[in-house]
Amino acid sequence: MPLYPHVLFDLDGTLIDSAPAILASYREAFAAAGRAPVMPIDAGIVGPPLLETLEMLTGSTDPVLIAELAAHFKASYDTTGYLQTAAYDGVGDMLTRLAAGGCRLAIATNKRLHPTRLILQHLGWAGHFDAVYALDMFEPRLPDKATMIARLMADRGIARDIAVYVGDRSEDGESADANHLPFLAATWGYGSLDAAEMAPHWRAVTSPAALAELILQD
């Protein structure tokens, strides 16, 4: 039996390198709106939800401005932009190994649901996951990742003592903690946590192969 029969994954920076596609679409959104961001559009902005990121990039909470930029972003990312998304080396094999080893896999991501599904189909991974959860899949929108994980576990009847959350950012670890789940930090991603950011009870995993070995250990 796997160490964790249920494995819940973050997406951006954990399973996929989505930064080039996301950053290109943010730049296109600002260009289409004829506006300049107040901070650099670089890999450091990848991870938070779309609207939160746009507020950060504009330094504004003006709903009209944010809606305009969000529409431009979606027009870019949801048509061709997402196709630039690449899987991290070894992730496809890891997912196949975990599924073959008896694990039930799910995604809990800050990314919007529509492009998440497009990306999973594009990479040939859709069949690996029993559940794919995003903040915007419910009305009203879920407030944060911790709430989303709680909802996923409740909906699917997943007990916390047989599950783990895998992510690449401190927010991911804190969301796991909020649900009393163990947390595995995927240190191969761009949100890679360094030693100073790691809580003592979190565990770093350096490669997808190492993660599969850990979870499928006898």
Supply the residues annotated as catalytic.
10
Question: Regarding beta strands 163-167 and 6-9, do their DSSP bridges make them parallel or antiparallel, or are they unpaired?
Answer: parallel
Instruction: Please check whether residue 114 is in contact with residue 132, taking contact to mean a CB–CB distance below 8 angstroms.
Output: no
CA quadruple 140, 54, 64, 61: dihedral positive or negative? positive
Q: Which residue has the tokens 């649900």?
A: 179
State the Cα–Cα distance between residues 107 and 115, nearest whole angstrom.
13
Query: CA–CA separation, 159 vs 102, rounded Å?
Result: 16
